[in-house]
Amino acid sequence: VGSSPMQAMLTAPGVKDRKVLAFKRDALKDKDAVSGLLRSIAARDAVRSAFYVFDLARVVDLHRGWRRALAGVRPCYAVKCNPEPALLGALAALGAGFDCASRREIEAVLALGVEPGSIVYANPCKPEAHLEYAASVGVNLATYDSEEEVAKVKRCHPGCELILRIKGPDGGDVRVDLGTKYGAHPEEVVPLLRAAQRAGLNVAGVSFHVGSGASNTDVYRGAIEAARGVFDAAAALGMPPMRVLDIGGGFMAGPAFEEAAAVINGALEKYFGELPCVEVIGEPGRYFAETAFTMAARVIGKRTRGEVREYWIDDGLYGTLSCIPMDHYVPRPRPLAASRPGEKTFTSTVFGPTCDSLDTVVTGYQLPEMSVGDWLVFDDMGAYTTASGSNFNGFSTSDINIYLAYSS
C-alpha cells in the first residue's frame, strides 16, 4: 500500500471492519479500469446479484482536492448522502468532521471513534428523543430555523449551542432545492436570534445550504454575504461573538467545484476577512460520494418484442437506483461486456425487479443484445443511492455487496 493517507484509511474503523473484498490495483482512474475490476468480480461464480465497487483512492484524491481548493474550510461529510461505513471511516481517517441528521447517523459516526465535537447535528427540526441522545453523547452543536426548535432544544438539550440556518439566495439552478423547506427568511433572522437569547442558548454561528448539485456557483457569494449580515445582527443584539460559519453542501466534484471554491474563497475574504477567528466548515455529501461508487446490476429477465428488447435487472427505483426519482440521477447504463466493433444495438427498456411499472430505469435506450446473466454498469452511483432505497417487494438494498478497491 503506497500513500500514507491510504495506509491510515485501510486500518481505520469502518474500513477494516466492513465486509468487503479489497482489490489492490495500480489505478482506478478511468472507466475502463473500473470495468476491468467489475468484470473480475462478476466472473466469480459466487457473485450473482447487483454489487458496488467503492474506490477508496478516489476519496483520497477528492479530499486532497478539497484541501487544495478550500484550505480554510473543514469538510464535515453529510452522512445522509451515503452512510457506507467504509466511506465514513475513510473520511474520519483523513480528518473530516461529520454532518449528522439523526440519532442513527450520530451513532454510526461515534462508532468509528470520532469525537462528538467533530459532529454538527445539522437537521433544523429534530425529534425530541434524538436531541436527548445527542445530549447524552456530547454532540453539542445543532442547527435551527424556527422558534419551536429553540424551545425544544432548551427542553431536551439545554447545553446545546445553536447554528442559525438561513435560506440561501434563489437562482442557484440546483438539482435538489432545499430552500423550500429549510432556512430562515431575512425577516425571521432577528426574531430567531432573540428567541435563542431569551432561552439562554448560545448561537455559535450561521449555516446555509444553496441546494444539492448547485451549478450556478455565484449563489455561494450571496449566501456568505447574508451570513455576515447575521453575524452583525447578533452583535447588534449584544450576543456573544459568533464563531462558526457553515457553508453547507451542494458541491459537485470536477470543474464546478473549482469554480465554487474560487467564489467561496473570494466571498470569505470579502465578508469574513476581518473576522479571522471564525471557523468555516462545510457539509459536502455528493462531492465525496458520487463518483467513488460504481454499480453493476445483473440482467435477470428479458422479453423480445419485434425489434424492441425489454430487460429486467436486479436493482431499480425502489432499490439503490432510487437516485433516479430522489436525486434526478440520469441513468446511462453500459454493458459490462466489452463492446464489439459494429455491434448492432436495439431500442431497449430496462426495468427494476419489483412488480410496480413505475420501477422503470430507462426506456427508448440503445443497448446491444443482452442475455440473462449479463451485467449493466451504472457510473457515479455514490450519492443518495444505497441511502434512500427500500425493501419494497422484499428486494433489500442491504443485500447488495460493496467491494472495496484501492490503488496499491
Catalytic residues: 355
Distance of CA 68 to the CA centre of its chain: 20
Is 183 a binding residue for ligand PLP by CB under 6 A? The answer is no
Is 60 a binding residue for ligand PLP by CB under 6 A? The answer is no
Across 213-264, the runs of DSSP E, i.e. the strands, are 244-246
Is 89 a binding residue for ligand PLP by CB under 6 A? The answer is no
Q: Indicate the SS3 state at residue 33.
A: helix
CB of 152 to ligand PLP, least distance (A): 18
Could you tell me the three cell numbers for 403?
467491494
CB of 377 to ligand PLP, least distance (A): 23
Angle at 249 between CA 245 and CA 254, to 5 degrees: 125
* Secondary-structure percent of the chain, ordered helix, strand, coil, rounded to 5: 35, 25, 40
Report DSSP state, residue 212.
Answer: B
- Interacting stretch for ligand PLP, rule CB under 6 A, among 53-61, 209-217, 259-267, 307-315? 209-217
CB of 81 to ligand PLP, least distance (A): 5
Sole binder of ligand PLP in the list 28, 81, 86, 370 (CB under 6 A): 81
Angle at 228 between CA 204 and CA 181, to 5 degrees: 75
Contact between 353 and 359 under an 8 Å Cβ cutoff? The reply is yes
Q: Treating both helix axes as pointing N-terminal to C-terminal, what angle do 219-236 and 189-199 enclose, rounded to 10 degrees?
A: 50
Residues, the chain: 408
Cα(254)–Cα(58) distance, integer angstroms: 12
Residue with cell 429477465: 301
> By beta-carbon distance, which residue lies closest to ligand PLP?
249
CB of 42 to ligand PLP, least distance (A): 29
Is 261 a binding residue for ligand PLP by CB under 6 A? The answer is no
Is 209 a binding residue for ligand PLP by CB under 6 A? The answer is yes
Sign of the alpha-carbon dihedral angle for 120, 96, 249, 31: negative
Cα(259)–Cα(387) distance, integer angstroms: 28
Sole binder of ligand PLP in the list 178, 253, 264, 361 (CB under 6 A): 178
Is 400 a binding residue for ligand PLP by CB under 6 A? The answer is no
Is 206 a binding residue for ligand PLP by CB under 6 A? The answer is no
Is 284 a binding residue for ligand PLP by CB under 6 A? The answer is yes
Is 78 a binding residue for ligand PLP by CB under 6 A? The answer is yes
Question: Toward ligand PLP, which CB reaches closer, 35 or 143?
Answer: 143
Is 251 a binding residue for ligand PLP by CB under 6 A? The answer is yes
Question: Toward ligand PLP, which CB reaches closer, 178 or 242?
Answer: 178
Contact between 205 and 244 under an 8 Å Cβ cutoff? The reply is yes
CB of 107 to ligand PLP, least distance (A): 18
Binding interface with ligand PLP (CB under 6 A):
78, 80-81, 99, 122, 178, 209, 212-213, 248-251, 283-287
